[in-house]
């Protein structure tokens, strides 16, 4: 997973459904709150992490100075590996992914 650590779209959108503001007590203007999105994201990560054979490598591209820490929380919830690359380019990402794949092979 490559992420800037900012959840911004509810899961229901990916299956073609509308977001229900009634499901989020902090919803404003019919949009989900950051708290709602974070909780939804971490719940999904936890479920995926519990799957047999699932391995998550999270590459965080968020600037550490203004980091929300969500990408690291996702990696932890999914029992995965976390790497922070604020200035990620193709070479840096490829290196981290190769290291992560080698670590999985050696487990």
Summarize pLDDT for 16-66 with one digit per residue, the tens: 999 999 999 999 999 999 999 999 999 999 999 999 999 999 998 887 666
Share of the chain above pLDDT 90, in %: 56
Provide the token pair at 90: 């193709």
Residues 92, 57, 64, 38, CA torsion sign = positive
Provide the token pair at 105: 């092979």
Least Cα distance to 64 among 44, 39, 88 occurs for 88
């Amino acid at each position: 997973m490559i992420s800037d650590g900012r959840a911004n779209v509810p899961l229901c959108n990916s299956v073609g459904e509308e977001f229900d503001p009634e499901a989020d007590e902090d919803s404003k203007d019919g949009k989900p709150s950051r708290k709602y999105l974070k909780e939804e994201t971490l719940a999904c990560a936890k479920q995926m992490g519990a799957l047999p054979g699932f391995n998550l490598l999270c590459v965080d591209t968020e600037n550490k100075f203004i980091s929300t820490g969500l990408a690291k929380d996702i990696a932890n919830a999914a029992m995965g590996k976390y790497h922070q690359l604020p200035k990620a380019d193709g070479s840096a990402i490829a290196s981290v992914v190769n290291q992560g794949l080698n670590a999985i092979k050696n487990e």
